[in-house]
Amino acid sequence: MLLLRRASRQALAQRRALSAAPITSAEPAVKPARPEFSSGPCAKRPGWSPAVYESAATGRSHRSAIGKAKLKEAIETTRQVLNIPSDYKIAVVPASDTGAIEMAMWSMLGERPVDMCHWESFGKGWLGDVTSQLKLDNVTEITAGYGELPDLSQTNKDHDVVFTFNGTTSGVRVPDLNWIADDRTGLTFNDATSAVFAMDIDWSKVDVTTYSWQKVMGGEGAHGMLILSPRAVERLESFTPSNRPLPKIFRMTKKGKLDEALFTGATINTPSMVCVEDYLDALQWAQAQGGLNGLIKRSEANLEAVTKWVNNTEWAHFLAKDVSTRSSTSVCLTLDTDPANVKAMVKMLEEADVAYDIGAYRDAPAGLRIWCGATVNTEDLEALFPWIEHAFAECS
């Protein structure tokens, strides 16, 4: 009996020792062919090389015939790929998506009350600008925490509404735009920077849409796109903010009328013709994928791959709680481990040249943010998952 008790105690001690020992796993044999999973700037399109710049109008004025032609081509090819209505205006503007949305808000907000919808860092930033910089006082905040979408039915059709189509730092998107009234009198401002080219946008529901080349299309930074409905143009021509100056780079009208030149390739400031060429290359690749539908399918296939892995991994979870609101581009995950361990995992994966820049945004809950837009190949994600498991085992 004494021997049995001693053997039992020894077995218990061994089990406890094993449970306390660090879990290790073998390093996977295969790495992603392209480890670029950053949420901005994002991965280049498959097959990209610097050779695309050989036909760039370098050393030429953006106001030369060739410069204007390339900028106009960028605008019109964007219209074709995104199926933007012919009466909507499109412009290349300074300072990425931030410049585009600020340009629109500073030029058009203040005519009526504003509903600010946010559920992550960038949307919250736009709220801060509207209240602290524009100093508008008739503002309603409609918000939810990370991982959730606020009740957008609270918006008022007679107010201007500012929202992000896809919360880049939370991985939470609007599932549709049915909450926007067709008979609205206010304008809708749609920050679509990590949604456009990956999600279907009902253009009849949005009046101002902004994005940057550096997100879904994998372009270079510093250039934004601004898309205006006829109703937005009407606002520009009928309303002039009286309580604030407009910097030159925000001005879209001349003598009370829309400056049409801005929407045919005559940019406010000097764009990089190398970046323009890069964007044109991405648009041509998009057309080769079948246009918008092909891009959406690629992004959704990537989300499906992540979903399958998460469903089979008990310690990984989507930050977005509702399946219908899960982003197919900036996919955000939480892990059942300490934030310090997550940080160590991210560092380990980067040093192994397996995944670059996949840590959660600094203001978001600790976890991983894996870019799954159309320029990412599904097979690279599938090669990444065993490495995440390996890093979790080594760092937890």
pLDDT tens-digit map of 39-80: 999 999 999 999 999 999 999 999 999 999 999 999 999 999
Residue 9 pLDDT greater than 70, yes or no: no
Q: Which of 241, 270, 286 is the last residue of a domain?
A: 286
What percent of the chain lies above the pLDDT cut of 90? 93
Residue 65 burial (CB < 10 Å; 0-12/13-18/19+)?
exposed
Residue 29 lies in a domain: no
Residues 263 and 386 in one domain: no
Q: Which range marks the domain in which residue 388 is found? A: 34-46+291-395
Residues 40 and 57 in one domain: no
The residues, ordered by sequence, that sit 6+ positions from 181 with a Cβ below 8 Å of its Cβ are 157
Contact predicate 318/171, CB 8 Å = yes
What's the rounded mean pLDDT across residues 362-385? Answer: 97
- pLDDT reported for residue 10: 52
- pLDDT reported for residue 243: 84
Q: Which of 286, 302, 334 is the last residue of a domain?
A: 286
Residues 316 and 351 in one domain: yes
Residue 13 pLDDT greater than 50, yes or no: no
Residue 227 lies in a domain: yes
Residue 23 lies in a domain: no
Residues 188 and 332 in one domain: no
Cα 121 to Cα 124: distance, rounded to the nearest angstrom: 5
Residue 325 lies in a domain: yes
Residues 277 and 324 in one domain: no
- pLDDT reported for residue 17: 42
Q: Which of 230, 253, 286 is the last residue of a domain?
A: 286
- pLDDT reported for residue 246: 94
What's the rounded mean pLDDT across residues 308-329? Answer: 98
What percent of the chain lies above the pLDDT cut of 70? 94
Residue 24 pLDDT greater than 60, yes or no: no
pTM for the model stands at 0.93
Backbone angle region of 252, left / alpha / beta, with phi > 0 → left and psi within -120 to 50 → alpha: alpha
Residue 231 lies in a domain: yes
pLDDT digits (tens, 9 = 90+) for 255-276: 999 999 999 999 999 999 999 9
Residue 77 lies in a domain: yes
Residues 171 and 253 in one domain: yes
Residue 264 lies in a domain: yes
Residue 121 lies in a domain: yes
CATH, residue 80: 3.40.640.10
CATH, residue 340: 3.90.1150.10
